[in-house]
Amino acid sequence: MKSLSKIFFLVVVISSVYFAQNPNQKTYCNPMDINYRYNWEQINEKISYRSGADPVIVNHKGEYFLFVTISGGYWHSKDLLNWKYVEPSKWPMEDICAPAALSVRDTLYLFQSTFQQRPIFFSTEPEKGKLNFFNRWLTLLPDTIGPWDPAIFHDEDTDRWFMYWGSSNVYPIYGSELDHNNKLIYKGEIKKFIYLHPEKHGWERFGPNHSDIINPFIEGAWMTKHNGKYYLQYAAPGTEYNVYANGTYVGNDPLGPFEYAANNPISYKPGGFMTGAGHGNTFQDNFGNYWNTGTPWIAINWNFERRIAMFPAFFDKDDLMYANTRFGDFPHYLPTKKLASKDELFTGWMLLSYKKPVTASSVKDTFTVARVTDENPRTFWVAENNKRGEWLQIDLKDNYEVMAVQIHFADYKSNIYDNDSANVYTQYKFYSSLDGKTWQIIVDLSKEKQDRPNGYFELSVPVNARYIKYENIYAPTPNLAVSDIRIFGNGFGKAPQSPTGLTVVRDKDERNAFITWNKVDGAVGYNILWGIGKDKLYQTYQIWADGESKLELRALTADQDYCFAIEAFNETGVSKISDVVYCK
């Protein structure tokens, strides 16, 4: 996000192939299954990796457009599931970083982060890759304030235009009104809106689990209007940590004043497989449902190696905004109507593969096969050779109804510095078996050249299986490296009992709380649920059951009361939520 290179070429190329999917697929699973692009942030250091960050999804005339940092283009979808990469007509400028995008009537607007003069683009046919200049140069701002990480907002009720921006651990989120009649130049005073206050807001502290004293970063501005109120969103404390999150301030005018939302952060995912939910945007789908996007953290080849996630978002009866990250990297249904409750998209398909034994055709050095089922994207297996026929086999240790599989490749010692579709693609198969001897194909990507480094596949027909096998056909990297294979479905036993003994002790430093509970037999993991009321348990911290039954939570706001609860889950289902514990 911090550096730019690659010059745009004046060409128009549209990818002609949608990702092959089960034609009846109704679910998605984070991270988003797109062809993440090899980018050029660190090309001078010869560091190669796929990445996606700082997403903006725009609903434009009933179709969706996804813009991502340094991707050489963007993605187009009609259903939020199948995404087609579009390489647009380019201009002699750098690749877009932390983009701003906005749909107003029949026009889509696009702008990049910059500390220099740069144009705003527009398109009435973005699905065809046609971009044109809306203006040639936006007025230059002082170098210290950008606009970096910009967001453009149009107030439909007043026909006023605004821009918000900022990315710094020194400067705040800024904003200004724009003059649409004068090529969207700044109009009036540039205001300072949001500073971080980590001394009060525990979740704004830097480092893993908010454990570092370095000044945190604020960035990723976005504005949403709901029920006459304006929600100025921001990301903190740093993209390279599990606790990267989105927060919001709320006001009655696009230029404030704004007040801190008591239930912040509004999107937070510090535990589980895909951690980190910060720096995204909020949009509505065609049914009127809200979504909040974000940037989970990978960090294999480079600390800022990331992926894209989207979570259903809501406004409660008190107009509190929040995103639901409970089981946020498990399969969810895509909505077909306006949602009535926050958890109705969760399929109930549970993770069957956690810490299950794995065998492999070969292993290179110390990159052991156990890493394939450890639910950690920063550890990975490497085959002795990257060749056709290398395989991984997972023993689920029991028979299960398998509904979906997901695979995550790692760019270990990658040497790819372009996105030539003739070479950059993945081909592989998945098989299922009850006895480890007789196999049936359940996923076949051996015939199409698609790059699916984070492929998610809902099976056309559920299968009963104990064993799942992956077979490599082609991977573009020098090494065949897989960080995780995740199997989803349901067992034939019972869901775990509800945890007992939940205890929450608020620290003298009120930003912290110490949480303990009694272990549950047969549990795979727990969800710690909390919020500012017993009917507002909007936050989730997922913990694996093979660890300690305790958590130091460092994300609370001083002088704010909280309620806590806990649930357990295993391969069969989820327990009832425990009694709620009030904590002053």
DSSP tag of 194:
E
Q: Is the pLDDT of residue 451 over 80?
A: yes
Q: What is the dihedral of CA 541, 546, 548, 549, to 10 degrees?
A: 60
CB-neighbour burial class of residue 225 (10 A; exposed 0-12, middle 13-18, buried 19+): middle
Is residue 108 within 8 Å of residue 58, measured between CB atoms? yes
Helix (H, G, I), strand (E, B) or coil at 264: coil
Residue 361 is predicted with a pLDDT of 98
pLDDT of residue 92: 58
Q: What would the two tokens of residue 179 be?
A: 């003059």
pTM: 0.94
Question: What span, in angstroms and rounded, lies between the C-alpha atoms of 555 and 203?
Answer: 4
Using one digit for the tens of pLDDT, what is the confidence trace for 15-43? 333 344 588 899 999 999 999 999 877 77
| DSSP structural state of residue 36 | P
Contact 567, 529 (CB under 8 A): yes
Query: Could you report the per-residue pLDDT of 269-293, keeping only the tens digit for each?
Result: 999 999 999 999 999 999 999 999 9
pLDDT(11) > 50: no
- Whether the per-residue pLDDT at 10 is higher than 70: the answer is no
Beta strands per DSSP E along 306-345: 309-315, 321-323, 332-333
Contact criterion met (CB below 8 Å) for 192 and 172: yes
Distances in Å between the alpha carbon of 468 and those of 329, 331, 400, 489? 20, 18, 11, 12
- Sheet hosting strand 173-179, strand order edge to edge: 151-155, 160-165, 173-179, 185-194
Cβ–Cβ under 8 Å, residues 555 and 515: no
What is d(CA 488, CA 60) in angstroms, rounded to the nearest whole number? 33
Sign of the CA dihedral with 524 first, then 530, 535, and 538 last = negative
What pLDDT sits at residue 21? 58
Q: Beta strand pairing status for 50-51 and 37-38?
A: antiparallel
- CB 441: neighbour CB atoms within 10 A? 12
User: Could you tell me the end-to-end alpha-carbon distance of the chain, in angstroms, rounded to an integer?
Assistant: 39
Distances (CA, A) of 369 to 356, 360, 378, 481: 10, 7, 14, 10
Query: Cα separation of 466 and 64, whole Å?
Result: 38
> Average pLDDT of the chain?
93
CB neighbours of residue 299 within 10 Å: 16
Which structural domains are found in the chain, ordered by start? 109-346 (2.115.10.20), 351-490 (2.60.120.260), 503-583 (2.60.40.10)
Q: What is the pLDDT of residues 55-86, one digit of tens each?
A: 999 999 999 999 999 999 999 999 999 999 99
pLDDT of residue 4: 36
Cis ω on the peptide bond leading into residue 208 (within 30° of 0)?
no
Q: What is the DSSP code string of 157-175?
A: TTTEEEEEE--BSSS-EEE
Query: Mean of the pLDDT values across residues 402-424?
Result: 96
CA dist 140 and 159 (Å) reads 24
Pairwise CA distance, residues 514 & 118, whole Å: 49
More confident residue, 280 or 180: 280
